[in-house]
Structure 1
Amino acid sequence: MINQIVDSLSSVGGGTIFIPKGKYLLDDGVILKSNVILKGESKESVILFRNPDTGNWKTTKSQGLISTLPNLSNTNILVESLTINGNFERKSSGAKGGICLRNCSKSKIRDVITQNTWHGVAFYDFKGENSENSIEEVKSENAHAFTSKDNSGRPRGILVMDPGARIIQSQSIGAGTGFYAHGRNITLIGNHAENWFEDNGYYLIVDQLTVRDCSAKGGPSPEKGFGSGFAIAYRKGALIENCTAINCSNYGFRIHVPQSDTQLINNQAVGCGNGFGVEVASHPFPEVSNNLLFKDNKAEKSGLHGFLFRQMTNSQVVGNKAINGNQRGVTLSTRGAIALKEHLSDNTFDDNECIDNQSKKTQTYGLYDFSVSQITSDAKKGKNNKIKHRSKSGIDEF
């Protein structure tokens, strides 16, 4: 019925479908078209369920309960003020997304909730320069199912792959990955990820990325957290500012080589394995991250290092704090509240602090340069780094 109304409105240039309060069973995906608004009375009072017992869900072309056709160019679509429940169990296969708008521009998903889906809310497949799409005040709960058994398309709470897209004041709770972005010129402001289980709170592979005032909480405690809070990977030109990562088992903020021309300013990592660091992953030297700025960040109660650097050149690490790190047994690989490892060159480390205020101090080493005694290969040792440092707590070696 809804698709018939969509087609009718589309034939006359568009219009609004208003859904009054109630619970509705869907036997097939709703396929929106240009200039059509789908608006519920409120997200609390309008719930659209996938009917798991009847309908066309196994053969439908729709990738979501609400979607668009990617072979058409769609513009000026709005979905707002409703809840979508996919009725898919955790890690089940054959799942559909909640609201997946494809090949769209100047479109918006606003003030909605999605539950028990593959991706919760998504924009992708736009091929132009600037989509102007936005996701605002959205909550994705339990984006936790798969399209096929153990496929690589990990369920993501909120996903954007369209250039020029914005995600504002939205939440992802209980997804495989909280927020995923891929492409260029994408902005995230005021968002929150929590209790993801497959990957990271934010996994962002974007040229010209902006992330401000966002947060990630891996779990109720460091032991129950998972992955990294923010993974910024492989591209150029990111600004990560005023963000917080809590209880992430891997990194609070992880930069993947060769991510370059990137600034991390005034962020905080609490209870993470490593607070901040550069991860080489599948990109060994001679690939490096170039022109990074770590400024006025704070790592507190880190399990390993507050800050861990490697494969980095022409970068600045200034005004940061490593507080109350717990260097588990101080092995050869876990020395340093601020640790400098292999292939570092022409970097500046200045005005950073290493502090241990615990009654039983565990931060044995402050700033530790592994090139002094642990790295024996001249090719891997640090070169031309400028270091000015004195820890308030812990032994310095550089």
Structure 2
Amino acid sequence: MTPESSHRPASLPVNDSARRGPRIAIALGAVALLAAVALLARGSSEEGGKPEAREATASNPQPTGPASAKAGHTGPSGPAQAESKPKQFNSTVCWEDLERFNESVTLETFRDWAGPLLAVKDPLVLDYLKGRLAELIGDDAGRAGEVLDWALDASPAEFKLFMGGLRGSKALPKMASRLTELGLDEKLDLGRRAGFLDELQRMPRLEPAALDKLAAFAQDAASGEAGWVTTRAIGRVMKEDFKKSGNFKPYLDKLLTIGTRSADEQVRYLALEMGMDADAPLDTKATERLGKLLATEGSEDVRMVAAHELSMSEDKAQALELYGKNFQIEKDLCVRWALFRFAARTAGKDALPVMADMAMTDPRFQGIYQEFEKRYASGIVDFGRIWFSLPTDDPFGCLDRHEE
């Protein structure tokens, strides 16, 4: 447990599925990638094989593919044994096919032509297809919209390809409105809607009208995984917009609303966590909202992350008052530990009187209070240094409880 992190529910997804975007090195060009695929294809034929696979190829040479270069070699067992074995063929796409595809494909032919290559399920080929599609889309919003139309009835593999191509294109920022529209379309299945909404996290900003709709959807009990994805998107756009323009309050307001009203505990937790991730400061009004949430939230996990976010308050005295009041009414030991340590993170040495009252209320905190008091008395003021010098960061077994 570090001073900059809070407990996460065991069921909460961690590092949501990193999605690997296409990376085509323009300087090397598509030919270099095709050549790499060709070398891998040849390698899989030369190494791989089992003797009987090479014998089968020798007896039944194929007209295309790297494996055809090995035709004519029967091996020590002879043709008779080769005929008795089932034929085995290299499933890697013939590199000549990729080269012809690269030279001749257009956006109009891409979907039909990509189908057979996609069916091979080769990750190198998939990366190539995503990159080639991104090149075909360019920064053209019309072409990007056409690809989104394909995604409406695409198979899962095609959907992954189309969204990957769109993600790698320069037109993606122009698609915020369309992605929002599709993500909120109740006629589509939630899984597909989640895929559209997931791309919103890469937008430079979200317009107020879209933000209102997305926040309302994230609070909906029926939103499921799509609601979680939407909450993450709001938080990630807030972080980027805050870095570039200093704008964060509209996003933070929606995240606090989601964190208070969503029916899904994991969504509430994530909404509060995303505010901390952006280092967004809390004004007086936002601090009051967090104080009310601490007093009314039913989930211990969400109360702990709320205690952490409260440390972002601009008004340290207001935050300390809320830490103290909520410690008095809190029954869960681990939440009390969160309130105690984040009070110190918020106000440093100025938190000691509040922490002393906490230790009087709950004698289990007297020992750890003395550890904090000693360190502040020695002249250490940085919370990180104090935290890492403590005998333990888990004096009450809260981390063990979380992992069970």
TM-score w.r.t. the length of structure 1 is 0.36
Q: Which has the higher contact order (CA 8 A, sep 6+)?
A: 2
Q: Which has the larger radius of gyration?
A: 2
TM-score w.r.t. the length of structure 2 is 0.36
Q: Which has the higher strand share?
A: 1
